Structure 1
């Protein structure tokens, strides 16, 4: 803010140490010399500062009469006001940067700003002309320009937000594994004809107040099926056609039996959408998207939601450079003087961090001896012990396989010597997040001890998920999302087009899983999935590394807080005691 900088220069030169309201004599020439500008520009600056009520200016009349100046504002409140203005727009990073520009001249300003920032986060009750509003404001360290198209939702943050903005026809209860109603309140299946019939709720409103009809369901499912480069196309691959019986009844004709069809329809990628004139996707979920950019993501409650209304009226996520744990802020910003009332909620993630070996590419990874050596180098407690953080325990499997599925007796040196590896540089690709960078560099360091050359590549999400990237990488480092819906989680890893396991394995997953969808017995379906996982591990196509420990600090006033498989809390369910 150039005018603020000019004011501060003048204040330091002439106002520092003066009493508030004290009048001092000065000339336009003095101001020009201080600001290194012409007298004409000095007069324009004086006029602007006078209009802002930052100064009072009494121009000298006649030869030899000096002008008089009163500084009306101390610089620190002006700096703080501008920093707060930037922050309230959602750009915390720029707010911090702005204030830090002046911290050398005014050392206390940074601390005052930090105290204010701390005070705005957590659960806040705001009073508006429409009454009380419960706002949850959180700090995160991520780009918040999150893609909100259910069809392409891949990252945990995308999937989590899609679940809050959109709804599906049915829902799978992760605790009981039962199918529950959502937009459809009843459904039937004609086994002989392979036809599913769904009965839609009446009076369900999209966020644009339009009411849900069969047309919206047909549009959404056809949109999913026809979507270009849809990585999740396998979910609805068995649909032959969709038709409306009337406004609230639809029929889905399958061409092949699929005993997991309701599970597929419950996936957030199969959410029902409406589109406005600009092509923006509209949902029926408990929250509507209010604003999003790289710095700010805002959800507001959907007052016409067909289920129970959320306690929260508004959720604001703000991207910051340095942040405490996302959910610790629920406590520390609001209850920092009441630590005795805090409680720890932690769980070991089902999600597993792993490394894939590209068997679909010519090179050292084709050699099983080399893959065995790689396994022995990077699998074990060393990565957890050395890097620490949220890394909780060694992962010996993805989900279902036996703990002892991989046993290698040979020494690392002899495995490498007998392999076909000849000092080729292996390309390791992963995300730009701190934990991914730490892991990749650790793997690179450990491999170097045995003469294995690894080059780490850190890409943004969009680039990393490109099929071409997956194909050219020798290794991919990732963390797989595994929910309580075990079958769905493994199907996602094995069949999703931009899944690293799918893209780098030499297994034909679609062919191998063809009988899976026709199998009615859960035990037999799970056995098939376990066999695939064990094959991937036994052949060292996938090397599990560790599972993270998630921990949330919550206050006794914060109710119904649970960590989901995406590593987030459910904004729809939490509420606060007074």
Structure 2
């Protein structure tokens, strides 16, 4: 690849960008000029020239005689070379570099569009040859934001949680398809005493980590103690007093107060069980390539891609796929150019794509909610209830759905199908009256939002501007948005929350100290919610718990703490030969269940 980098250097120095399709051209040069260009000796320049000739990129015509300059004959057109160079980088797994090269060296988008069209065929499910007689079933998909962490104890984003679920397992899992039940995973059985202050979990035998060691009760004890002491999610074990290993396959958890939701809470991705030996030995090294018991093991993690290989000894049954390759692409690829896969089309509702007629459509509602949260711990217009109510009335959710092709308006955290768009009040006159009552003086409010929600933030700012409210948008990266410092600095934040498990995710929203929603609630509201949550945990009836959760939501509505926007619909078109693909509660595809019914490549 170094030789191609040098050819590109020559093109940039001597070639013309006005006519990149010119077949060949000749440039007069001297060896002295090339030593300066390549920052090397004349001897090394001659070696470089010879290598460029060997790869048929140039012809070198040495100047003979006094005053006769040497000539370079460029043999590969600029556009042809850039496209071929980018493809070679992709074949080496250097996706980010390929896009950087194309963006740096072309003013127009023609070559980039050709490259993206070629890249289409690289994604989706396929049978990839690994030898002359064998193939593997590979699922390759693009993402536009890399994971922030794969440490279950510090998860913030839905994609990160989805990846950890492929690599790690929990004691139990929540199955919304089975009457919303908690079902066995690492633990095959569990029970509690009469008041739910002691819980015993019985572990399966033969569950092995990817480094082949059997999982035991000591791993569970280590994981839960770590989760309680060193985690963003220590709220998950807020009721735990202590945990003990009764024997290698039994753990007992002693609680400080009743908690009927403990098994449900342990379904969270943050409660994934870690190998105590490896984490204790060198934790920093462990998280560079973490090991779990999941259906897939992590084999590669870089800025360009993440590779997963099937765990052939998985205790819940081997996955049908042999490997998953997650390619991390630049975030700034325009929506209109985002990849429409040849074998599988990832189609969020905002980028509709019509596939071939025989393709199957898989549809699901990602249980997420986009919302504005008001910082009531910072001075500013947002301290006024009338102001917050005014903003709520100026948001025309019907228009938002039409503009953004979102599917459902949001009135609460998990989607309630009974809330039709007609039940949402839009009243400009009432909003203006409330704004006058608030005494708003035109002070700009700082709205912080992650980069990928910028268009939604702009739309919100336009709605506010229509009644004279000034919004200054501060777009930040996911890393910055996840930091503890950014929330308190904002007057308001636009965020999107994922709800894989309804009750548990609502608890997280109210209790996770780094969550911006928690940071923005004033002290008395937090304290009141905490007391309600203690009652929720002590209540065995789901119906009664739901009523308590509603008490919290009603107060949040009354105080206009949040401004709910939309729930997003996710749909995917699938090639007929691909089966088992569905959209899970995190809005992603469960890799374990995907399989192929017929060959997509010829391995013979």
- TM-score tier after normalising by the smaller chain length: 0.7 to 0.9
Q: Which moved more, 1:455-464 or 1:526-535?
A: 455-464
- Alignment check: 8 A CA contact 1:102 1:109 kept: no
Tell me how far 1:455 sits from its aligned partner: 1.7
- Alignment check: 8 A CA contact 1:372 1:408 kept: no
Tell me how far 1:451 sits from its aligned partner: 2.4
- Alignment check: 8 A CA contact 1:145 1:295 kept: no
Q: Distance between the aligned counterparts of 2:414 and 2:29, measured in 1? A: 75
Q: Distance between the aligned counterparts of 1:367 and 1:38, measured in 2? A: 63
Larger radius of gyration: 1
Query: Structure 1: where are the runs of 5+ without partners?
Result: none
For the structure 1 residues 412 and 290, does the alpha-carbon distance in structure 2 shift closer, same or farther, using more than 3 Å as the test? Answer: same
- Any idea what SS the aligned residue of 2:121 has? helix
1:293 maps to: 302
Q: Distance between the aligned counterparts of 1:32 and 1:223, measured in 2? A: 63
Q: Distance between the aligned counterparts of 1:138 and 1:164, measured in 2? A: 15
Deviation track 1:311-370 (CA, whole Å, cap 9, x = no partner) reads 11221122224266677553369xx99812213223444322111122333332232211
Of residues 591, 595, 601, the one that matches 1:571 is 591
- Alignment check: 8 A CA contact 1:189 1:195 kept: yes
Q: Distance between the aligned counterparts of 1:18 and 1:285, measured in 2? A: 55
Deviation track 1:219-256 (CA, whole Å, cap 9, x = no partner) reads 111110111xx332111111111111222222111121
Q: Distance between the aligned counterparts of 1:476 and 1:217, measured in 2? A: 37
- Alignment check: 8 A CA contact 2:122 2:342 kept: no
Of residues 279, 302, 314, the one that matches 1:305 is 314
- Any idea what SS the aligned residue of 1:94 has? helix
Query: Structure 2: where are the runs of 5+ without partners?
Result: 17-21, 347-352, 599-604
1:430 is aligned to 2:449:
yes
Matches within 5 A, 1:38-437: 44-51=44-51, 53-54=54-55, 74=76, 79-99=82-102, 113-129=115-131, 131-142=134-145, 144-175=146-177, 176-191=179-194, 194-227=197-230, 230-274=231-275, 275=278, 277-279=281-283, 280=286, 281-321=290-330, 322=333, 328-331=341-344, 339-385=356-402, 388-399=403-414, 403=419, 411-433=430-452, 436-437=453-454
- Alignment check: 8 A CA contact 1:57 1:68 kept: no
For the structure 1 residues 451 and 409, does the alpha-carbon distance in structure 2 shift closer, same or farther, using more than 3 Å as the test? Answer: closer
Deviation track 1:433-477 (CA, whole Å, cap 9, x = no partner) reads 1xx211222222222232222222222233323343322322121
C-alpha RMSD of matched pairs (Å) = 3.8
Q: Which moved more, 1:48-57 or 1:236-245?
A: 48-57
For the structure 1 residues 73 and 114, does the alpha-carbon distance in structure 2 shift closer, same or farther, using more than 3 Å as the test? Answer: farther
1:511 maps to: 531
Deviation track 1:383-407 (CA, whole Å, cap 9, x = no partner) reads 333xx23422322333488856989
Q: Distance between the aligned counterparts of 1:115 and 1:250, measured in 2? A: 54
Q: Distance between the aligned counterparts of 1:9 and 1:116, measured in 2? A: 24
Count residues with an aligned counterpart: 558
For the structure 1 residues 174 and 131, does the alpha-carbon distance in structure 2 shift closer, same or farther, using more than 3 Å as the test? Answer: same
For the structure 1 residues 82 and 209, does the alpha-carbon distance in structure 2 shift closer, same or farther, using more than 3 Å as the test? Answer: farther
Q: Distance between the aligned counterparts of 1:522 and 1:337, measured in 2? A: 42
2:505 maps to: 489
Tell me how far 1:2 sits from its aligned partner: 4.6
Q: Distance between the aligned counterparts of 2:355 and 2:95, measured in 1? A: 26
Q: State the TM-score, normalized to the length of structure 2.
A: 0.82
- Alignment check: 8 A CA contact 1:379 1:543 kept: no
